[in-house]
């Protein structure tokens, strides 16, 4: 089933409802290092163009970011992803603090 066949898309044929976008940003590393820094951010946007713009605003690295990859999340492990407007601004993302490389 393609995303256009998804039941949640049928309720919003014009694409006016925000969708969850996962964006992989890349950009310059701090001075004195060679390579590229990366960061994954989540944004709620009604288009890919808007998602790219909003994601770049969340960049915490040095210099200007660019988008290396972008995905729109419709369904995960059989669960549909639908966004619901909240009462607070900003992000609330829980990151596992026990990670050890």
- Give, in order, the Cα–Cα distances in Å from 96 to each of 93, 99, 100: 10, 6, 10
pTM, entire model: 0.79
| Confidence at residue 13, expressed as pLDDT on a 0 to 100 scale | 56
* Contact present, 73 and 22 (Cβ < 8 Å): yes
- pLDDT (tens digit, 9 = 90+) per residue, 51-98? 999 999 999 988 899 999 999 999 999 999 999 998 888 899 999 999
CA 29/CA 35 separation, integer angstroms: 7
Q: How far apart are CA 29 and CA 26, in angstroms?
A: 9
At 16, the pLDDT band (50, 70, 90 cuts) reads confident
Domains defined along the chain, listed by start = 16-80 (3.10.20.10)
């Amino acid at each position: 089933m393609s995303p256009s066949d998804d039941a949640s898309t049928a309720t919003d044929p014009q694409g006016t409802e925000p969708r969850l976008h996962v964006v992989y940003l890349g950009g310059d590393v701090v001075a004195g290092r060679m390579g590229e820094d990366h960061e994954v951010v989540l944004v709620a946007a009604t288009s890919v163009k808007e998602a790219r713009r909003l994601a770049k605003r969340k960049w915490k690295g040095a210099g200007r970011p660019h988008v290396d990859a972008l995905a729109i999340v419709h369904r995960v492990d059989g669960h549909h992803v639908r966004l619901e407007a909240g009462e607070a601004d900003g992000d609330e993302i829980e990151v596992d603090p026990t990670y050890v490389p």
